[in-house]
Amino acid sequence: MVGGGNSAIQIAAELGPVADTILATRRPIGWTPQRPLGRDLHWWLKHTRLGVAPFRRLLAKVPVSVLDDGHYRTALDQHGVDRRDTFSRLTTDGVVWADGTKEAVDAVVLATGYRLTFPYLTGSGALDPNGTPLYQGGLSTVAPGLGFVGMEFQRSFSSKTLRGVGRDAGHVMKQLRTAVAG
């Protein structure tokens, strides 16, 4: 398993009981309590407004950290998931670790995040020169009727997560319906 974010940790926790699992990360896992002071972290971000602009630039610089109520950390420990620094290269049989040690592995699962790309919008005017959508709150600022969901900090800290994308999709759909009816 490669990756140190929530998805990688959750997958490693599921694999641990049924397979020898190594979690390869660039740095030690950062743990963030899911419920500080008895409230979910996303509640705090929403109610303190830290999860929205202009604070999003600050939050974007925070190192990746896993939100956990203790379940995943315990699962990794209980099932002997071995956390190591990322390997230096892949071979046909497995991996080579930074110290040169070769190790056979049956599978490598990459949970390293993703980068949104929109090649189908090239030339539409809906993207800036870097290929980033021109939008505000999920609605294109240049192409009427075009909306986006799942964008990092689209409307809040949780926009790119399962917790936030549904709320943002509802917002975008409401705005698109209003535009069409208007």
Instruction: Dump pLDDT digits (tens) for 73-99.
Output: 999 999 999 999 999 988 888 899 999
- At 150, the pLDDT band (50, 70, 90 cuts) reads confident
More confident site: 6 or 126: 126
Q: Residue 15 has what pLDDT?
A: 93
- At 6, the pLDDT band (50, 70, 90 cuts) reads confident
Q: Residue 75 has what pLDDT?
A: 95
The three-state DSSP-derived secondary structure of 137-149 is: CCEECCCCCCECC
DSSP the chain: -B--SHHHHHHHHHHTTTS--EEEESSPPPEEESSGGGS-HHHHHHHHSTTSTTTHHHHHTSPP-EEESSHHHHHHHHTT-EEEEPPSEE-SSEEE-TTS-EEE-S---B--------GGGTTTT-B-TTS-B-EETTEESSSTT-B--S-TTSSSTTTTSHHHHHHHHHHHHHHHHHHHH-
Q: Residue 112 has what pLDDT?
A: 78
- At 163, the pLDDT band (50, 70, 90 cuts) reads low
Phi, psi angles (nearest 5°) of residue 160:
-95, 10
Q: Return the top range by mean pLDDT from 27-31, 38-42, 56-60, 149-153.
A: 27-31
Least confident of 90-94, 140-144, 157-161, 172-176: 157-161
Least confident of 37-51, 53-67, 79-93, 113-127: 53-67
Q: pTM of whole model > 0.85?
A: no
- Mean pLDDT in residue range 26-31: 87
